[in-house]
Amino acid sequence: MPDVRVHTWNDLQDALYMESWDQDIGRYRSRFAYRGLSDREYQLKTTLIRLGGPFADLERHLLRNFKKYAHRSVVEQDSLWHWLSVAQHHGLPTRLLDWTYSPLIALHFATANIHKYDRDGVIWAVNYLKAHQRLPDRLRSKLDAEGANVFTVEMLSETVSSFAEFDTEDDRDCVIFFEPPSIDDRIVNQYAFFSVMADPQLVLDEWLAKHPDLWHRIIIPAGLKWEIRDKLDQANINERVLFPGLDGLSFWLARHYSPKWDPHASLAVVEKNPATYAPGAGRSDGPDEKC
């Protein structure tokens, strides 16, 4: 499906909930995983890929040392998928990619960074039901036996217990979506889940390009971001709720009270008046682009 470019808030609502009608049950139940990014040019790169260098070789060392130094009580079970979920949640570079079931939460992440209001944002929507139809039999049969649409960490642990078991020829042509355990309020409030691929070096964009029937992108014009941001705040979809705690509260307040700025102002003007044109005192390392 080609990119869907919206022009108004109402256009956006229609696009976010497109294809959500389920004829079989007579309900609106979207089967899409959503991921919001502040720049439409960003790829679906994992934090492991963004680490750079020989990242594929470093993956096992990162996880081994995380397990060694983390307190054992941080995971419910000593399994690969429990550890990966916890590690990803706390910022360790992994092959996992964050998604959300909520299109509005994805919209938050596409508009959270007001330093990027000079460029179009994007929301990726991937149909996880259709994606899972391409799973090899041993994985597909696990979903069918449970009557589930996505995996849990327990289901994955019973099927794939190591990276070596995951790295087969059949596995390399699929993507798995799974839900992490509800470790804390952040995962619950963000309605979060993960995707994972057998090849840690493969960027999901490249796989999706071969399967255009599984996904679409909603392009958010730069000029619409301020309206979206204000309406999301009014709906209480903000950092204070999605990142419970003092850090999330601080990021929300800094953004909420930042003056509206002109993204088309010349660089010279911005540099001369940083307090006016650099909301949040130039800080851009906040909770951005997670889902």
- What pLDDT does residue 183 have? 83
Q: For residue range 148-205, what is the model confidence (pLDDT) as tens digits? A: 999 999 999 999 988 888 877 666 789 999 999 988 899 999 999 999 999 999 999 9
| Tokens of residue 55, six digits | 């990242």
- Inter-CA distances, 34 with 88, 93, 226, 291, Å: 17, 20, 21, 7
In a domain, 92, yes or no: yes
Domains: count for the chain = 1
Given a contact cutoff of 8 angstroms between Cβ atoms, the answer to whether 138 and 161 are in contact is no
> What is the DSSP code (8-state) at residue 262?
-
Q: Which among 69-83, 202-216, 267-281 has the top mean pLDDT? A: 202-216
Q: Which residues contact 164 (CB under 8 A, 6 or more apart)?
A: none
Beta strands in 70-183 (DSSP E): 97-100, 121-127, 151-152, 175-179
Residue of 290, 124, 100, 140 lying closest to 209 (CA atoms): 124
The answer to the question of residue 220 being in a domain is no
Is the pLDDT at 116 greater than 50? The verdict is yes
What are the tens digits of pLDDT across the range 248-278? 999 999 999 998 877 666 444 444 443 333 3
Instruction: Check pLDDT > 90 for residue 11.
Output: yes
Asked if the structure places residue 273 within a domain, the reply is yes
Closest C-alpha among 221, 222, 199, 215 to residue 33? 215
Residue 201 within any structural domain of the chain: yes
Q: Label residue 130 exposed, middle or buried (CB < 10 Å: 0-12, 13-18, 19+).
A: middle
Within a domain: 270: yes
DSSP H or E run through 80 = helix 80-89
Domain that holds residue 138: 41-104+124-213+236-282
Query: Is 109 a domain residue?
Result: no
In terms of Cα–Cα distance, which of 236, 275, 254 is closest to 105?
236
For the record, the structure tokens of 67 come out as 């397990």
What's the distance, CA 23 to chain centroid? 28
Q: What is the percent of the chain where pLDDT is above 90?
A: 76
Q: What is the pLDDT of residue 284?
A: 34
The pLDDT confidence band at residue 96, using thresholds 50, 70 and 90, is very high
Residue 219 lies in a domain: no
Give a yes or no: residue 88 inside a domain. Answer: yes
